[in-house]
Structure 1
């Protein structure tokens, strides 16, 4: 059980930071035992990589939905609407996988 700093980001996700102290169970010089304990928590100033990607996907979905609303008022736009709907579906699948990754990462802490 070695001690590390922990960064709490603005999205309430955590990540490990610098190694601080060896535990008493580790007897090899320069090695860590593999278990991580928090020495101190430092507040970060930005969102994590996964949450940033989630925000980007949500903006892309909103943008495509706005296009569809606009195109439904215009005639002869069915192909554009279908393409935008397929893009929304692709973004939603990516969003689902990103949220799974975020939950998996939070469960590991």
Structure 2
């Protein structure tokens, strides 16, 4: 039951911060007991790294979709570029699904502990 600081992000996720205080259960020098308790919570206005990655993928996907829509509206003859853009959109959607799955699993694991 050693004490650690906690970082709480704007998205609701949190992460362990620095070690704050040692409990009396571990007698060896420099060792901690393994149980973590919150000493102090620092509220951050930023998103966690996983949410930042998801946001970046969404913005990039939106830019590709707008580019593809513009090319179609203009009657572009850049077939290869349009196909490449469609492939990029599909890849980004897969990456977004994977990152969202990772976020859900992280939240479920926290709830089970």
Alpha carbons of structure 1 residues 105 and 60: separation in structure 2 relative to 1, 3 Å: same
- The CA distance in 2 between the partners of 1:57 and 1:68, in whole Å, is 16
Alpha carbons of structure 1 residues 26 and 107: separation in structure 2 relative to 1, 3 Å: farther
Aligned with 1:40: secondary structure? strand
- The CA distance in 2 between the partners of 1:54 and 1:69, in whole Å, is 22
- The CA distance in 1 between the partners of 2:3 and 2:102, in whole Å, is 25
Count, aligned residues: 109
Gaps of 5+ in 2: none
Q: Report the TM-score when normalising by structure 2.
A: 0.83
What's the RMSD between the two structures over aligned residues? Answer: 1.7
Gaps of 5+ in 1: none
Q: Report the TM-score when normalising by structure 1.
A: 0.85
- The CA distance in 1 between the partners of 2:23 and 2:101, in whole Å, is 33
- Structure 1 residue 104 displacement after superposition: 3.3
